[in-house]
Amino acid sequence: MSNSNNIIILVARILLAFMFIFAGFGKLTDPAGTAGMIAGAGMPAATLLTYLAGAFEFVTGVCVLIGFQIRIVGWLLAAFCVFTGIVFHLGTVNVPDFPAAANGWINGLNFVNFLKNITLAGAYVMLATNGAGVYSVDARRGAYAAA
């Protein structure tokens, strides 16, 4: 694989890691909003699930950033994106006491988040199948082989 392709893989990993590091840190430091969304989806132990999701997102985001265990982490994040997309972003949102137009706008944004999650799942499958590239911990460990 050419050096420029490996640089592109590195840049892609940085971009793909940013969202999960940022989101995971947010859930760990201020869990209330996410816990409310989890509870609103009818799931039990919303605060615990928020902390677990935050830890998962933060740790896997760092793994993507540094290119560690990317084949495993890529599949885990792809599954996570599909799951959260379906459970939290595919349904209709109705905020009590909001005007109908506002709820319609929120539903439009929610569907965009569903599409974002499905699209990200594809990117993580690509990382899982192609590896982290030569600029990664996996490569330093001898665990990277170009697909």
In the structure, what pLDDT confidence band is assigned to residue 99 with cuts at 50, 70 and 90?
A: confident
Q: What is the pLDDT of residue 145?
A: 57
Q: What is the pLDDT of residue 144?
A: 64
Percent of the chain whose pLDDT exceeds 90: 70
Q: What is the pLDDT of residue 96?
A: 73
- Give the C-alpha separation, 60 to 41, whole Å: 24
Evaluate if residue 147 carries a pLDDT over 60.
Answer: no
Evaluate if residue 81 carries a pLDDT over 70.
Answer: yes
What's the chain look like in SS3? CCHHHHHHHHHHHHHHHHHHHHHHHHHHHCCHHHHHHHHHCCCCCHHHHHHHHHHHHHHHHHHHHHCCCHHHHHHHHHHHHHHHHHHHHCCCCCCCCCCHHHHHHHHHHHHHHHHHHHHHHHHHHHHHHHCCCCCCHHHHCCCCCCC
User: Average of pLDDT values for 5-26?
Assistant: 96
Evaluate if residue 146 carries a pLDDT over 70.
Answer: no
User: Average of pLDDT values for 88-114?
Assistant: 84
Q: Tell me the pLDDT tens digit for each residue of 33-70.
A: 999 888 888 889 999 999 999 999 999 999 999 999 99
The 10 Å CB-count burial string (b at 16+, else e) for 36-66 is eebeeeeeeebeebbbebbebbbebbebbbb
In the structure, what pLDDT confidence band is assigned to residue 28 with cuts at 50, 70 and 90?
A: very high
Q: What is the pLDDT of residue 72?
A: 97
- Rounded to two decimals, the pTM is 0.89
